[in-house]
Structure 1
Amino acid sequence: MASYHIETYGCTSNRGESRQIEQALREGGHYPADGPAEADVAILNSCTVVEKTERNMLRRAEELQEQTADLIVTGCMALAQGEEFDEAGIDAQILHWDEVPEAVLNGECPTVAPDTQPILEGEIGILPIARGCMSNCSYCITKFATGRVDSPPVEENVEKARALVHAGAKEIRITGQDTAVYGWDDGDRKLPELLDRICTEIDGEFRVRVGMANPGGIHGIHEELADVFARHDKLYNFIHAPVQSGSDDVLEEMRRQHRVEKFREVVAAFDDRLDYWTLSTDFIVGFPTETDADHEASMELLREIRPEKVNVTRFSKRPGTDADEMKGLGGTLKKERSKEMSAVKREIVGEVHENMVGTTQDVLVVEEGTGDSVKCRDGAYRQIIVQHADEYDLSPGDFATVEVTDHQTMYAFGKPIST
């Protein structure tokens, strides 16, 4: 868990994005600090409307850098003129706003509180299926708060999902520290059974997104799980399996429960069964024992697997963890490695969305966007923005068919078509 401080400048759109960042951080178990000096990470949601504003953003970034351990800059100036922060000597991660929560997570599992219950927010139902994990990662502080996995019965979670759908949920987000080890405490990993029963036993038109599942947890049920995804259109063809490194030596020092070959086998199972799907994965750059060769192994794995969504995080120590006692790498080296990996990531993700242009996708409208736009998710959970939504009478909860007309690096644009 981490404490955060967030500052927002500019328009209503930026304020809305900050609210969504905070919502995701709170869902992950993070909490707001009293100010930047007390925060593990500071987030600057920037504006760039005029030159004076740019100067103010750079000055404020410098101030925040002096007050907090880690700085993330997002928003308009970060995306349009991110190089100016680097040129000003500001050591910050420059991220698209929807990448911020994963970066703050710092490779750790999200935290589900003991009394966490399903939540309905608009058209989105959040269903925590278990608490705790089976891992003992050397860098993760979350385990101190959550302990070992504690899994309610499958029937109980199916009924919770049913209640969310009956209450109006069109998208159910399955969450947990590690969804893949659901049921492990009872001697049997039950995620495939849970997903199969939600899709077959609950009436209604809705979609299901599975939250973070560590490769070590998925491996062993990866073929069965991929079969479930292939059977059910209600499941988004999307998995978030954080590999964290392409080096087995680093994975061992991290005390991850998988090695690179197991990760490859998980990916291969889904590649074999699904024609159109999204792999989301994470890399931690600059772990204390990471050598140049280890970093290059991560770069090679990224280029080989080419995941459709990638979160790149610079290693940051957490108090009380074993990795906190390790001699860290210099900030400049971590920054250089992060920039190199992020450049390849943008190339890969941009190519993914470019290849979507001209295709037709069935989508679910999940939330309002900026101005008169809506954010949609296609069958592989890729984000498609529909502009001028009022003209098409589209609002959250609607299903539609769109033609993908354009893209930016992180998402695509679509136009509804008649079917």
Structure 2
Amino acid sequence: MARYHIETYGCTSNRGESREIERRLRDAGHHRTPLEEADVAILNTCTVVEKTERNMLRRAEELEAEVADLYVTGCMALAQGDEFADAGVDAQVMGWDEVPEAVTNGECPTTTPDAEPILDGVVGILPIARGCMSNCSYCITKFATGRIDSPPVEENVRKAEALVHAGAKEIRVTGQDTGVYGWDTGDRKLPELLDRICDIDGEFRVRVGMANPGGVHGIREELADVFARNEKLYDFIHLPVQSGSDEVLETMRRQHRVDKFRDIVETFDERLDHWTLSTDFIVGFPTETDADHQQSMDLLAEVRPEKVNVTRFSKRPGTDAADMKGLGGTLKKERSKAMSELKREVVSEVHREMVGSRREVLVVEQGHGDSVKCRDSAYRQVIVQDASEHGVEPGDFLTVEVTGAQPMYCFGEPVDSLAEREPAPADD
């Protein structure tokens, strides 16, 4: 498991986010250590004044020199994320809620030990199963979770109903690998479960958590049809490909090859007009050659996912990959930097194209200051600022016009607010 060091600067909101990051990392089996013993460092930043910004950049430089991987989040990451790259800091800059997933090194996420649903604000977390059917050579999570153990569809539907009745407006269907739900009982039940959850009375949205391509491939057409007919489902799927090289995927012992990943993407392209593909790449796996890395770069440029997690490989004790002769840290950093730059180009294009459009969104949670985070039908993030002035709060459904874009998210303004400022048409 990863050993992490975390530092938090700024307001109470930042400290709360750091606590949530740590909770998720601990749930995944990772543990906090002093900086000198850590594999990764997390810097939760503040950007209140110019002096603070200089301090954040200096601290990022210091942390980068001490650990293999540095993750930067918080206010400065959101408002001035480019500053770190401009200063030559080799860090992965992201929203706080993306940090736990990035730190897990491509491993399956874990769920709470009792796999019970949780209501967090208006977001309901619904673990549908525990364990997976994979045997990836780099992943230690399987030692903690074991093989897939799927409760009946009816049981998960009852839990989803309870979340909706408790006030959930977004249900996040989670698990180590949602795509293999039901395999232990001899049936592939994810499509049925999603249909049943979407049939629950109420106004809410459903997000499907990570599903490995190996599990999704056999149900790709049925699953895409479920998305197409259910408006409550976010048109979003997280398919971690991990590499664009079949040779690397084989030594990773992944249950898919690149052609299966492409098949899934093509099927969803055929069934859905607008959808979001999220995927992961592990950079610097011990057997990865320059040609393998280029294949990953080519695949990223080809499929152009709207959300990408790029993680440098790090060894997990007790895994088969830990016994392989690793690549040098400098080479891994160079490959990670190249892929992160391409990722930024790809995801920035998506958000720039959204500017000027109108979107139906769900307000999911509070953001920084007087802002809220919203999600459109394809789970793209839209930030509404001055939320209290607009009378907007988590749980609301509203129409926004996208007014600006950052690489990882957009800004929007409620249409009603825009209409109030538009001059009335002149009389004829």
* TMscore range, shorter length: over 0.9
Partner of 2:426: none
- What SS is found at the alignment partner of 1:311? strand
Q: CA, structure 1 residues 359+26, in 2 after alignment: closer, same or farther (shift >3 Å)?
A: farther
Residue correspondence of structure 1 range 350-361 to structure 2 within 5 A? 350-361=348-359
1:94 is displaced (CA, Å) by 4.1
Residue correspondence of structure 1 range 78-89 to structure 2 within 5 A? 79-83=81-85, 86=88
- What SS is found at the alignment partner of 1:221? helix
Q: CA, structure 1 residues 84+384, in 2 after alignment: closer, same or farther (shift >3 Å)?
A: closer
Residue type of the alignment partner of 1:21: I
Residue correspondence of structure 1 range 121-160 to structure 2 within 5 A? 121-160=120-159
Q: CA, structure 1 residues 3+166, in 2 after alignment: closer, same or farther (shift >3 Å)?
A: farther
CA separation in 1, counterparts of 2:352 and 2:93?
Answer: 22
Q: CA, structure 1 residues 26+362, in 2 after alignment: closer, same or farther (shift >3 Å)?
A: farther
Residue correspondence of structure 1 range 217-236 to structure 2 within 5 A? 217-236=215-234
1:268 is displaced (CA, Å) by 0.8
- What SS is found at the alignment partner of 2:309? strand
Residue type of the alignment partner of 1:10: G
Q: CA, structure 1 residues 122+277, in 2 after alignment: closer, same or farther (shift >3 Å)?
A: same
- What SS is found at the alignment partner of 1:219? helix
Partner of 2:422: none
**Equivalent pair of 1:41/1:69 in contact (CA under 8 Å):** yes
**Equivalent pair of 1:216/1:257 in contact (CA under 8 Å):** yes
- What SS is found at the alignment partner of 1:288? coil
Number of matched pairs:
414
1:12 is displaced (CA, Å) by 4.2
Task: Encode CA deviations 1:49-71: one digit per residue, 9 max, x unaligned.
Answer: 55654564455446545665543
1:275 is displaced (CA, Å) by 0.6
Partner residue of 1:296 out of 294, 297, 300: 294
Unmatched 5+ residue regions in structure 2?
420-428
1:39 is displaced (CA, Å) by 3.8
Partner of 1:163: 162
1:45 is displaced (CA, Å) by 1.6
Partner of 1:25: 25
- What SS is found at the alignment partner of 1:22? helix
- What SS is found at the alignment partner of 2:149? coil
Partner of 1:390: 388
1:76 is displaced (CA, Å) by 4.8
1:393 is displaced (CA, Å) by 1.1
1:391 is displaced (CA, Å) by 2.0
- What SS is found at the alignment partner of 1:376? strand
Residue correspondence of structure 1 range 261-276 to structure 2 within 5 A? 261-276=259-274
Q: CA, structure 1 residues 211+54, in 2 after alignment: closer, same or farther (shift >3 Å)?
A: same
- What SS is found at the alignment partner of 1:209? strand
Partner of 1:100: 99
CA separation in 1, counterparts of 2:302 and 2:64?
Answer: 35
Residue type of the alignment partner of 1:123: V
CA separation in 1, counterparts of 2:383 and 2:100?
Answer: 20
1:205 is displaced (CA, Å) by 0.5
- What SS is found at the alignment partner of 2:365? strand
**Equivalent pair of 1:3/1:30 in contact (CA under 8 Å):** no
**Equivalent pair of 1:21/1:97 in contact (CA under 8 Å):** yes
1:24 is displaced (CA, Å) by 4.0
Partner of 1:337: 335
1:121 is displaced (CA, Å) by 0.7
Partner of 1:14: 14
- What SS is found at the alignment partner of 2:218? coil
TM-score of the pair, normalised by structure 1: 0.93
1:95 is displaced (CA, Å) by 3.9
**Equivalent pair of 1:113/1:146 in contact (CA under 8 Å):** no
Q: CA RMSD in A?
A: 2.1
1:83 is displaced (CA, Å) by 2.9
Partner residue of 2:311 out of 305, 310, 313: 313
Task: Encode CA deviations 1:21-76: one digit per residue, 9 max, x unaligned.
Answer: 3354345x244424334544221123455565456445544654566554323345
**Equivalent pair of 2:43/2:73 in contact (CA under 8 Å):** yes
TM-score of the pair, normalised by structure 2: 0.91
CA separation in 2, counterparts of 1:63 and 1:393?
Answer: 42
Task: Encode CA deviations 1:173-231: one digit per residue, 9 max, x unaligned.
Answer: 0000000000000111100000011112x111111000000000100001000000001
Identical pairs, percent = 76
CA separation in 2, counterparts of 1:168 and 1:360?
Answer: 27
Residue correspondence of structure 1 range 355-374 to structure 2 within 5 A? 355-374=353-372
**Equivalent pair of 1:366/1:377 in contact (CA under 8 Å):** yes
Residue type of the alignment partner of 2:157: V
Residue type of the alignment partner of 2:14: N
Task: Encode CA deviations 1:379-400: one digit per residue, 9 max, x unaligned.
Answer: 0011101111112211111111
Partner residue of 2:248 out of 233, 250, 259: 250
Residue type of the alignment partner of 1:186: T
CA separation in 1, counterparts of 2:50 and 2:399?
Answer: 41
- What SS is found at the alignment partner of 2:173? strand
Q: CA, structure 1 residues 39+30, in 2 after alignment: closer, same or farther (shift >3 Å)?
A: farther
Residue type of the alignment partner of 2:166: A
CA separation in 2, counterparts of 1:218 and 1:168?
Answer: 30
Q: CA, structure 1 residues 26+166, in 2 after alignment: closer, same or farther (shift >3 Å)?
A: farther
Partner of 2:193: 194
Unmatched 5+ residue regions in structure 1?
none
CA separation in 1, counterparts of 2:55 and 2:401?
Answer: 40
- What SS is found at the alignment partner of 1:155? helix
CA separation in 1, counterparts of 2:118 and 2:26?
Answer: 13
Q: CA, structure 1 residues 99+271, in 2 after alignment: closer, same or farther (shift >3 Å)?
A: same
- What SS is found at the alignment partner of 2:298? helix
CA separation in 2, counterparts of 1:408 and 1:230?
Answer: 29
CA separation in 2, counterparts of 1:127 and 1:188?
Answer: 20
Residue type of the alignment partner of 1:99: E
**Equivalent pair of 2:383/2:411 in contact (CA under 8 Å):** yes
Partner of 1:74: 73
**Equivalent pair of 1:4/1:30 in contact (CA under 8 Å):** no
